[in-house]
Amino acid sequence: MRNDNWWCGRFRGCGYKVTVPREAILEVLSLTDKHLSAEDIYLAVHKKYPAIGLTTVYRTLDILVSIGLIYKFDFGDGRARFELAEDSKGKKHHHHLICTKCGRIIDYTDFIDDEFELLQLVEKGLSKKYNFKISGHLIQFCGLCDKCR
Amino acid sequence: MRNDNWWCGRFRGCGYKVTVPREAILEVLSLTDKHLSAEDIYLAVHKKYPAIGLTTVYRTLDILVSIGLIYKFDFGDGRARFELAEDSKGKKHHHHLICTKCGRIIDYTDFIDDEFELLQLVEKGLSKKYNFKISGHLIQFCGLCDKCR
DNA sequence: TTGTTAATGAAAACTATTTTCATTAACAGA
DNA sequence: TCTGTTAATGAAAATAGTTTTCATTAACAA
């Protein structure tokens, strides 16, 4: 049993093995503040471990999303993008502001408390009315950034 | 100049011609309350006008999104889905509740006023702070529906 | 009615993602 | 530490949604 990172417990607890590719992928994700695509991650991982294939990156990302360690987003550019879930490491909960022209993404934390309060209210109301078990939300704004407007 | 539907003005005003395929596609979209994919629309249109091709459907949808007559969504099933923008016809502004297991989508209008109030506040704050010209927002909740939970 | 030009459809191309399958590595138990 | 089981892996092929190409057709201004 190898060197224990903070996420190893969660990983093994879900019945998954801790492997070199998985460690490498999580390392890439935890060292960036960008919203990486599967290929971005593949290229980054590839520098240190050229043997790791793109297929494994996709498979690992699927697992990470399913156990809640990362989030998957669609910002409208035809590829999925990923980021570490905020509760895992020192990350703050945030939402996104997307420039529809250049694709720039801004993570904002302003008004998060006000948003959270409303989300609580709405989640409660919706889960009662529709008998849904709500597990997450997505809030984002789009428009033109300062350079593109 | 053909028969004028409500959207013809907007269409011609943007420099686009009014064509049979475009009318057919808009008709399909205005007669449903579902969230259709490009292929769904193609199949529906195909019944009445078998000559209309999938390519044209994609092209028309692009235009409709760009002039704001329809919205494009990604509900995570690997294909884009479309619906008429609410201001166009008698539609109400709503947000979505998505079942992550069976893919069911519920349009909800509950709390829309509270949400709207917050959105106003956040949009104002964000556009000032980041100098963004905000043109839209996306709010959705995901979880398990009554049948899947 | 006619000319200009955008719109169209079929087929091919593209691209992100998934599947297949033979090989390798993680790790529980000895 | 060694070993067997089984999940994880990588390469290549397959898939599927969407976009591009290009020759033809239809919209509509004059």
Alpha carbon distance A24, A29 (integer Å): 9
CB contact under 8 A, A142 and B143: no
Question: Architecture of A93-149 per CATH?
Answer: 2-Layer Sandwich (3.30)
Does CATH place domain A1-91 in 3.40.50.850?
A: no
Residue A137, SS3 per DSSP: strand
Please tell me if residue A126 touches chain B, with a CB cutoff of 8 Å.
Answer: yes
- Contact between A107 and A94 under an 8 Å Cβ cutoff? The reply is yes
Q: Does A127 touch chain B (CB under 8 A)?
A: yes
CB–CB contact A129 B123 (8 Å): no
In angstroms, what separates the C-alpha of A62 from chain B's closest C-alpha? 13
Q: What is the pLDDT of residue A92?
A: 86
**Residue B87 DSSP symbol:** T
- Per-residue pLDDT tens digits for A61-77: 999 999 999 999 999 99
The CA distance from B45 to A69, in Å, is 42
Q: What is the DSSP string of B19-75?
A: -HHHHHHHHHHHT--S-EEHHHHHHHHHHH-TT--HHHHHHHHHHHHHTTSEEEEE-
Q: What is the CATH number of domain B92-149?
A: 3.30.1490.190
Alpha carbon distance B133, B126 (integer Å): 9
Residue ranges per structural domain of chain B: 1-91, 92-149
Quick: pLDDT tens for A118-130.
999 999 999 999 9
Tokens 């209008």 belong to B109
Per-residue model confidence as pLDDT tens digits over A68-103: 999 999 999 999 999 999 765 667 899 999 999 999
